[in-house]
Amino acid sequence: MDGGLSGQDPACGAGGRAGSRAAAAAALGAGLGGSVQVRHVDAGSCNGCEIEIGQAFGPVYDAERHGVRLVASPRHADVLTVTGPVTVNMAQPLRATYEAMPRPRLVVAVGDCARDCGVFAGGHGVLGPVGDVVPVDVRVPGCPPEPAAIVAALRGVSGR
């Protein structure tokens, strides 16, 4: 880590190149064959997105019926969901989690903060959007995104 100050990236708005990556994710999703294990990392979120992700796996939206399951270890996971702007302290754990996942592996950035730092852009200790730390395949916009949008994104990855 080269200190917190250099981490405050004013150009915290790089949210492009989503289209081609989404297509690649859909192609990869076909390889997953309707089974997706999700590992979640909160890289500095306000926990609003976490509540919505919790809802996506609750009785109402029930992502499990589409073959999506939350798991306890990145080694078991195919998909890494990341929320929040990546803070300086969470950048290394996020990289380590990504590195621990077996290939093929996908990253879903959930929420506006994960896309472009949202309201935290330029804040103290904010390193940048998720795309600056690990390659992002799918982005889910919203502050926070609705559970239905999260389920739709995960279904796009699982192919079901």
Partner 1 sequence: MSAWVTAAVQAVLVAAVAPLVIGLMRAVRARLEGRAGGRLAQPWRDLRKQLRKEPVIPADAGMFFTAAPVVLMATSVLVAGAAPYLSTAGPLPGVADLVVVVGLLLLGTVALALAGLDTGTAFGGMGASREMTIAALVEPTLLLAVFALSTRVGATDLGAIVAAGATDPARVFTPAGALAAAALAIATLAEAGRLPVDNPATHLELTMVHEAMVLEYAGRDLALVEWAASMRLTILLGLLANLFIPWGVASGAQPAALVLAAGVFVVKLAALGGLVAAGEVFVAKLRLFRVPELLAGSFVLGLLAVIASSVLA
Min dist CB 35 to partner 1, Å, is 4
Min dist CB 2 to partner 1, Å, is 26
Residue 39 in contact with residue 142, Cβ under 8 Å? Answer: no
State the Cα–Cα distance between residues 8 and 100, nearest whole angstrom: 27
| # chain residues binding partner 1, by CB under 8 A | 24
Which residue lies nearer to partner 1 by CB, 38 or 117? Answer: 38
Q: 91: number of CA atoms within 13 Å, CB side? A: 17
Interface residue with partner 1 among 52, 78, 116, 137 (CB under 8 A) is 78
Taking residue 83's Cβ as centre, other Cβ atoms within 10 Å add up to 27
Which of 136, 139, 137 minimizes the C-alpha distance to 49?
139
Beta-carbon contacts of residue 103 (< 8 Å; ≥ 6 apart) = none
> Per-residue contact track with partner 1, 98 to 137, x per CB under 8 A?
--xxxxx---------------------------------
Q: Would residue 25 be called left, alpha or beta, if left means φ above 0 and alpha means ψ between -120 and 50 degrees?
A: alpha
Contact between 37 and partner 1 (CB under 8 A)?
yes
Q: Which stretch binds partner 1 (CB under 8 A): 43-51, 73-81, 89-97, 142-150?
A: 73-81
Q: Which stretch binds partner 1 (CB under 8 A): 14-22, 65-73, 106-114, 133-141?
A: 65-73
Contact between 33 and partner 1 (CB under 8 A)?
yes
State the Cα–Cα distance between residues 109 and 138, nearest whole angstrom: 6
Min dist CB 20 to partner 1, Å, is 24
Structure tokens at 81: 């969901």
Positions in the binding site for partner 1 (CB under 8 A): 31-35, 37, 59, 62, 64-65, 67, 69-73, 75-76, 78, 100-104
